[in-house]
């Protein structure tokens, strides 16, 4: 098993192939001055590494890695497979992906390959093996990144054949597939595997789900190939990662993360400013892919080039973002990219060093982050993020809802985040994990729109509640099976007994409707479910619908049901923000979930726990104005190296890392 680096890293993506070699020493000197200790390089450099079929050139890369090391900077190498070069594509035009309209994609951008192309797999074998042979035992290479942001879907005939084989493997008999997919509907019954199409546009829900799983399977194959090739030469203690894209929906990230030693992701704000109540969820999602710390392997130095308005982050906003990421489990922050290339598609992207080779104003901010990282790097070694609350995430449920949202504004991620924000606003320790993760250790589990609920999942959730856990079921929970077919029971399917209620019907709402709770009146938007009480003796009704469409009027909207030693809540409404906060406050209290610390709005408190039990408290002010936090105990401020008691002042976008004294 690879050793995951235990201390903080700070760095950038650097492309030595863009610059004359005599410039490198100055770049590396500046990196050292910025406090950088890692650089990511190599991804996209295929045409420089292998300018023609039988010529490999790695000397330049080796010299760059060595020179970086001489400046105290370690390297992460990217395999360049996201950028198959022109000569290769010319030799094998079939290597290029085909779009939904049947057009071969044009050469000249990136990620243009067909993920199932045998020529791509062959070419990958050659370039990755050659890289691994050359750099596998290089002492300055601490990790590898595979490809870059897997994302393209190919619709070529060969992918269709591979999809059919994938289905054959999974279902074994066509009858089983026809049955599970309800293909008698609209006469879709298949009598031969070769009749099954790749779905384009609306389709049979089971076909859609299987194709999405096939995309996961296809990237998994290519990834597995690369890992195997690297491992021939790369020792086990060197880690292998891929850079994911947060909430990107294209494949099941849990499946792809299984084989990786470390998960990393690329965080871009684009237009506007970062909202920590939302971005915390993405860090937690990424940490949840393997339930371990992660790397933020790309983030924006100032601004991007690809959004509608490429505004810069405010001065020091990136500082708050860097610590926010660390507080949520990041062990590294790497900016993309170091210096503006003179040509290529990304000329206007933010960088640390500009086209003239001089540091931009942002450089000083990165330098400040570097200084502070050095102060706590050793202290943080081995520390992880504990969590009282788990939010369950499930790609199949998300895809299914995306294909049939029933209300055009219903968005799975926005709905999950609607449950995340009230927890984040109260500094509850929390995680976002796969719906198939073991639930021991959590006090509260929230299953937002966990549409797909088979008996296995239901049994694990029920067991969690029997043992004293609190479980929140929400709208759209417990409706379908693993083939994306409706369960032949009312929502929440196998959890009806646990919930003590069932859903008699669901309503997409044209307008918000009123909700009357014990002590407040609020609204439900987009969606409302009419709950029928099954266990009259013990279900408590926490809120009812007011006058609505007639069907919903005065029916229960939110319920709580003591079950075993715990409680199951059913939230049949999509509450307004204030009511949602009030509801989650009440549930957190009942479940015994305490805030890490009390902070004013805009300031977050997070916790990392060292293996020796020492708790590290992070206070991050996400506001552009100073803030004050009242500390309940005296503490040692590790960045300022002083003892603090009572009121702690944070500057605009300021940060404190505290240990209790």
Catalytically active residues, by annotation = 149, 298
Residue 15 Cβ, how far from ligand GAL at the closest point, in Å? Answer: 10
Minimum gap (Å) between residue 245 Cβ and ligand GAL:
7
Report the residue from 266, 317, 502, 529 that binds ligand GAL according to the rule CB under 6 A: 266
- Closest C-alpha among 619, 102, 10 to residue 296: 10
Tell me: does residue 261 bind ligand GAL (CB under 6 A).
Answer: no
Contact 369, 317 (CB under 8 A): no
Taking CB under 6 A as the criterion, the residue among 48, 50, 79, 148 binding ligand GAL is 148
Q: Considering the rule CB under 6 A, would residue 415 count as an interface residue with ligand GAL?
A: no
349 touches ligand GAL by CB under 6 A = yes
| Separation of alpha carbons 148 and 242, rounded Å | 7
Work out how close the CB of 555 gets to ligand GAL at its nearest, in angstroms, rounded to a whole number: 46
304 contributes a contact to ligand GAL by CB under 6 A: yes
- Residue 202 neighbours by CB distance under 10 Å: 9
Q: C-beta of 304: minimal distance to ligand GAL in Å?
A: 5
Q: Which is nearer to ligand GAL, 160 or 300 (CB)?
A: 300
Separation of CA 60 from chain center: 34
We find the least distance from the C-beta atom of residue 76 to ligand GAL, in angstroms, to be 13
Cα 44 to Cα 595: distance, rounded to the nearest angstrom:
44
For residue 434, which phi and psi values (nearest 5 degrees)? -65, 145
Say whether 247 sits in a helix, a strand or coil.
coil
Q: How far apart are CA 568 and CA 535, in angstroms?
A: 12
> Helix, strand, coil % (nearest 5) of the chain?
35, 25, 40
Q: Which tokens in the block code for residue 404? A: 């049939």
CB of 299 to ligand GAL, least distance (A): 9
Report the C-alpha gap between 320 and 326 in whole angstroms. Answer: 10
Structure tokens at 530: 């009419």
Decide: helix, strand or coil at residue 353: strand
Using CB under 6 A, count the residues that bind ligand GAL: 9
Q: State the nearest-atom distance from the C-beta of 294 to ligand GAL, in Å.
A: 16
561 binds ligand GAL (CB under 6 A): no
User: Toward ligand GAL, which CB reaches closer, 43 or 261?
Assistant: 43
Q: Is 268 in the site for ligand GAL (CB under 6 A)?
A: yes
Partners of 616 in the β-ladder:
608
Give residue 30's Cα distance to chain centre. 32
149 binds ligand GAL (CB under 6 A): yes
x/- map, 515-534, ligand GAL, by CB under 6 A: --------------------
Q: For residues 15 and 17, give the distance between their C-alpha atoms in angstroms, rounded to a whole number.
A: 5
Least Å from the CB of residue 268 to ligand GAL: 5
Between 149 and 604, CB nearer to ligand GAL: 149
**Residue with smaller CB distance to ligand GAL, 116 or 148:** 148
Count CB atoms within 10 A of the CB of residue 86. 10
Q: Which of 252, 261, 298, 331 binds ligand GAL (CB under 6 A)?
A: 298
For tokens 């039988």, the residue is: 54
The interface with ligand GAL within residues 616-655 (CB under 6 A) comprises none
Q: How many helices (H) does the chain have, and how many strands (E)? A: 17, 26
Tokens read off for 269: 């704000």
Residue 131 CB neighbours (<10 A): 27
Q: Which two tokens stand for residue 587?
A: 């549930």
CB of 243 to ligand GAL, least distance (A): 6
Two tokens at 288? 């949840």
Q: Of 297 and 401, which has the nearer Cβ to ligand GAL?
A: 297
Q: 1 vs 309, which CB is nearer to ligand GAL?
A: 309
Instruction: Please identify, using beta-carbon distances, which residue of 149 and 462 lies nearer to ligand GAL.
Output: 149
x-marked contacts with ligand GAL along 307-346 as a string, rule CB under 6 A: -----------------------------x---------x
Rounded CA separation 58/139 (Å)? 16
Does 17 bind ligand GAL (CB under 6 A)? Our answer is no
User: Hunting for tokens 């829900």 — which residue is that?
Assistant: 205
User: Would you say 484 and 208 are in contact if contact means Cβ atoms under 8 Å apart?
Assistant: yes
Whole-angstrom distance, CA of residue 569 vs CA of residue 556: 12
The mark string for 209-228 relative to ligand GAL (x by CB under 6 A, - otherwise) is --------------------
For the bound state, the minimum distance from the C-beta of residue 43 to ligand GAL, rounded and expressed in Å, comes to: 7
The helix (H) or strand (E) run that includes residue 586 is helix 577-591
Is 270 near ligand GAL (CB under 6 A)? no
Tell me whether residue 349 or residue 398 sits nearer to ligand GAL (CB atom).
349
User: Residue 353 or 461: which CB sits closer to ligand GAL?
Assistant: 353
How far is the C-alpha of 618 from the C-alpha of 279, rounded, in Å? 16
Give residues in contact with ligand GAL (CB under 6 A): 148-149, 266, 268, 298, 304, 336, 346, 349
């Amino acid at each position: 098993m690879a050793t995951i680096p235990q201390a903080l890293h700070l760095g950038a993506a650097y492309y030595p192939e863009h610059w004359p070699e005599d410039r490198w020493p100055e770049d590396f000197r500046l990196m050292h001055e910025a406090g950088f200790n890692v650089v990511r390089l190599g991804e996209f450099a295929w045409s420089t590494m292998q300018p023609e079929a039988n010529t490999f050139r790695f000397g330049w890369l080796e010299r760059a890695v060595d020179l970086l090391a001489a400046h105290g900077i370690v390297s992460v190498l990217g395999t360049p497979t996201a950028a198959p070069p022109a000569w290769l594509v010319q030799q094998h035009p079939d290597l290029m992906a085909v779009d939904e309209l049947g057009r071969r994609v044009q050469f000249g951008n990136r990620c243009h390959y067909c993920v199932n192309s045998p020529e791509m797999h062959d070419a990958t074998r050659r370039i990755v093996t050659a890289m691994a042979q050359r750099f596998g035992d290089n002492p300055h290479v601490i990790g590898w990144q595979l490809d870059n942001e897997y994302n393209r879907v190919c619709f070529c005939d060969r992918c269709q054949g591979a999809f059919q084989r994938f289905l054959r493997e999974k279902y074994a008999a066509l009858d089983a597939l026809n049955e599970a997919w309800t293909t008698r509907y609209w006469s879709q019954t298949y009598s031969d595997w070769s009749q099954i199409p790749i779905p384009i546009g609306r389709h049979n829900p089971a076909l859609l789900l299987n194709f999405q799983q096939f995309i996961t399977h296809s990237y998994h194959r290519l990834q597995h190939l690369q890992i195997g090739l690297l491992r021939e030469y790369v020792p086990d203690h060197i880690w292998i990662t891929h850079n994911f894209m947060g909430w990107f929906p294209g494949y099941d990230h849990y499946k792809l993360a299984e084989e990786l030693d470390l998960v990393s992701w690329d965080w871009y704000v684009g237009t506007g400013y970062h909202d920590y109540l939302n971005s915390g969820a993405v860090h937690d999602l990424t940490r949840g892919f393997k339930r371990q710390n992660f790397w933020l392997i790309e983030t924006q130095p100032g601004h991007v080039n690809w959004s509608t308005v490429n505004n810069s982050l405010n001065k020091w906003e990136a500082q708050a973002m860097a610590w926010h990421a660390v507080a949520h489990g990041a062990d590294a922050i790497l900016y993309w990219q170091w210096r503006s290339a003179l040509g290529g598609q990304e000329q206007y992207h933010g960088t640390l060093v500009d086209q003239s080779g001089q540091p931009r104003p942002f450089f000083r901010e990165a330098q400040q982050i570097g200084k502070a990282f050095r102060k706590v790097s050793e202290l943080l070694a081995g520390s992880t993020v504990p969590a009282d609350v788990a939010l369950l995430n499930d790609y199949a449920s998300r895809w299914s809802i995306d294909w049939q949202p029933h209300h055009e504004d219903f968005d799975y991620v926005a709905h999950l985040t609607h449950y995340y924000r009230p927890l984040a606003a109260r500094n509850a320790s929390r995680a976002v994990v796969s719906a198939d993760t073991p639930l021991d250790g959590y006090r509260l589990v929230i299953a937002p729109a966990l549409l797909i609920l088979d008996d296995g999942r239901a049994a694990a959730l029920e067991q969690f509640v029997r043992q004293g856990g609190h479980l929140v079921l929400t709208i759209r929970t417990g409706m379908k099976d693993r083939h994306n077919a409706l369960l032949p029971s009312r929502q929440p399917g196998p959890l009806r007994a646990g919930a003590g209620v069932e859903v008699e019907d669901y309503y997409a709402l044209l307008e918000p409707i009123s909700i009357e709770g014990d002590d407040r009146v609020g609204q439900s938007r987009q969606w409302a479910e009419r709950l029928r009480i099954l266990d009259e003796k013990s279900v408590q009704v926490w809120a009812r619908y007011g006058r609505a469409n007639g069907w919903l009027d005065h029916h229960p909207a939110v319920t709580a049901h003591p079950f075993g030693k715990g409680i199951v809540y059913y939230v049949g409404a999509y509450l307004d923000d204030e009511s949602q906060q009030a509801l989650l406050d009440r549930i957190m209290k009942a479940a015994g979930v305490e805030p890490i610390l009390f902070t004013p709005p805009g300031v977050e408190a997070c916790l990392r726990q060292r293996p020796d039990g020492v708790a590290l408290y992070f206070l991050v002010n996400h506001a552009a104005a100073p803030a004050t936090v009242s500390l309940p105990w005296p503490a040692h401020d590790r960045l300022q190296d002083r003892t603090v008691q009572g009121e702690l002042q944070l500057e605009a976008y300021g940060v404190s890392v505290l240990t209790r004294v």
